[in-house]
Amino acid sequence: MNYISIKNNQTISLSDIPESNYEWFYDMNLDLVLGHTERHCVNYFGYKVGNNVKLICCIADDSTHEILVSTCLVHKAHALESFCTQLLCFEKFEREIHENFGINFIDHPWLKPVRYAFNRDDMSQTMDNYPFYSIDSEELHEVGVGPIHAGIIEPGHFRFICNGEQILHLEIQLGYQHRGIEQLFIEKKKLLQRATLAEDIAGDTVIGHSTTFAHVWESLCGFEASRDIEFARTLALELERMAVHVSDLSGACTDIAYQLGSSVFGRLRTPIINFLQEWCGNRLGKGCIRPGHNQYPFTPALADRLRQVLDIFEPEYNEMAGKLFKLSSALSRFERTGVVSNADAISIGAVGMTARMTNLNRDIRSSHPFSLYSELNHFPILKRHGDVYSRVQIRKKEIEQSLNYIRKLIAEVPAQPLQTDKLKTPRPNSFCLSLVEGWRGEICHCALTDEKGELMHYKIKDPSFHNWMALALSVRNNEISDFPICNKSFNLSYSGHDL
């Protein structure tokens, strides 16, 4: 056994992570994941140590609520055996390691660039020469879309191979949003700068990413967050989930040309995000979550106000949702469109809603609980069909669940402690991993400190990192005109992926 078991948000010494040679590291991690759906890789990355690269692999075990961390030192010039021959879910991680350090993986199916990082190993790889998969055939044609799309959304390039109207294959090229965030985390020394960066990883998951960063930082500094702090985070996470889910229902209606649903769900997001503004001064919650203190304490007066907002929201939402989920013309567009099977979800390592829609139970709120989730006794909502309908249904059910949690939470607003701890400096030579279930799925941040306690490496993983592949698989054999509804029903992050 050459790994160490840690809990979510636990800081350990770097030297406590057992190191082995690559062969051992490979066999062990393969054994851990192969045939065990309760385990999956939440992060696998490298960092430079002199001329070598140190790999760190983190496998989350949902049954024991532990994360199994192991490490190994490799040299850039030595090609490594790829996990992908047996576990495709390592595909993206290995591509990332290859892009950043030039390490080759033997028998990897496609060692293509991930995001064209500014500090990539091979600068001759550019956005313009992405090696798209292509099929030489008289019958087939290719359709290229993006990077700029028709609506107001983030950029990415989609390359379809179609047989008439039917999609045979979709490949997604990302990287347009790459801002070098992980590097900036190291270079920007002020805590507020780092908190601001965390908020800007993905502007639709402000609370998710800033909570993850706060947890990492507090754990590194040995800070115990008081109840009011964790209360605010739990509440904000559920508000964010509700707001985005409602607007996704609106998006789904737009893409099947159901105008009433599109408008009503679209406007129902407003009271929720306006409440965030009443609470913390920003509609998307920027500025709300800070490591080490409660920036905008949640008062009983705010709780009353939120109750009012929800009392108006709920019947309006229920009326519209009731209508949509009885409307046969809408349901016939949702059902059996964009299917991903349970086996495929497991194989690509899907997380969050994308996993749950295929009956794969992955939800950090119950498997590695943080903040106040252990008290909420969360049961993930699962669907079985893996189609657009399952994804839309999960949103509906999770909105209802979030409403319920929010009402429970605000029934008892914790008081502000009279005395608060001060945030100290991070522990030197340490490693910390934090997992948070954002509305999309599992967010994972890992931090490493050097001997002075300075940040030495910061690794961010948005759930979209895994789930983009699910979108690509879902559209196979669908009409190309169904692409928008498939895409919207996943609603994945470009900036969270590109960093």
Which one, 79 or 148, has the nearer CB to another protein? 148
297 binds another protein (CB under 8 A): no
Give me 59's structure tokens: 């496998």
Phi, psi of 61 (to 5 degrees): -110, 110
312 binds another protein (CB under 8 A): no
Residues 122 and 379: beta-carbon distance below 8 Å: no
Separation in Å, CA 416 to CA 224, 294, 300 = 14, 9, 11
Which one, 269 or 385, has the nearer CB to another protein? 269
Interacting residues with another protein between 314 and 333 (CB under 8 A) = 315-316, 319-320, 323
Tell how far CA 125 is from the center of its chain.
26
Of 177-185, 336-344, 433-441, 461-469, the window that binds another protein (rule: CB under 8 A) is: 177-185
Rule CB under 8 A: choose which of 96, 171, 204, 387 binds another protein: 204
Which one, 7 or 188, has the nearer CB to another protein? 188
Going by C-beta distance under 8 Å and a sequence separation of 6 or more, which residues neighbour residue 356? 362, 363, 380, 381, 382, 383, 394
Of 109-117, 332-340, 365-373, 470-478, the window that binds another protein (rule: CB under 8 A) is: 109-117
48 binds another protein (CB under 8 A): no
3-state DSSP: the chain helix, strand, coil percent, rounded to 5?
45, 20, 40
We find the least distance from the C-beta atom of residue 323 to another protein, in angstroms, to be 5
Q: Is the dihedral of CA 389, 391, 395, 398 positive or negative?
A: positive
Interacting residues with another protein between 234 and 253 (CB under 8 A) = 247
Rule CB under 8 A: choose which of 225, 239, 280, 394 binds another protein: 280
d(C-alpha 189, C-alpha 176), whole Å: 26
284 binds another protein (CB under 8 A): yes
118 binds another protein (CB under 8 A): yes
We find the least distance from the C-beta atom of residue 72 to another protein, in angstroms, to be 29
438 binds another protein (CB under 8 A): no
Question: What is the full DSSP assignment across 379-401?
Answer: -----SS-SHHHHHHHHHHHHHH
Tell how far CA 466 is from the center of its chain.
8
299 binds another protein (CB under 8 A): no
Rule CB under 8 A: choose which of 111, 114, 201, 471 binds another protein: 201
d(C-alpha 398, C-alpha 77), whole Å: 48
Rule CB under 8 A: choose which of 74, 117, 252, 475 binds another protein: 117
Which one, 303 or 348, has the nearer CB to another protein? 303
Interacting residues with another protein between 16 and 35 (CB under 8 A) = none
Separation in Å, CA 374 to CA 34, 202, 226, 417 = 29, 26, 15, 21
Residues 94 and 105: beta-carbon distance below 8 Å: yes
Q: In what order do the strands lie in the sheet with 430-437?
A: 11-13, 430-437, 442-449, 455-461
112 binds another protein (CB under 8 A): no
197 binds another protein (CB under 8 A): yes
Q: Which residues bind another protein (CB under 8 A)?
A: 115-119, 127-128, 147-148, 150-155, 175-181, 183-184, 188, 190, 192-193, 195-197, 200-204, 206, 247, 260, 263-264, 266-267, 270, 274-275, 277-284, 286-287, 295, 315-316, 319-320, 323, 493-495, 498
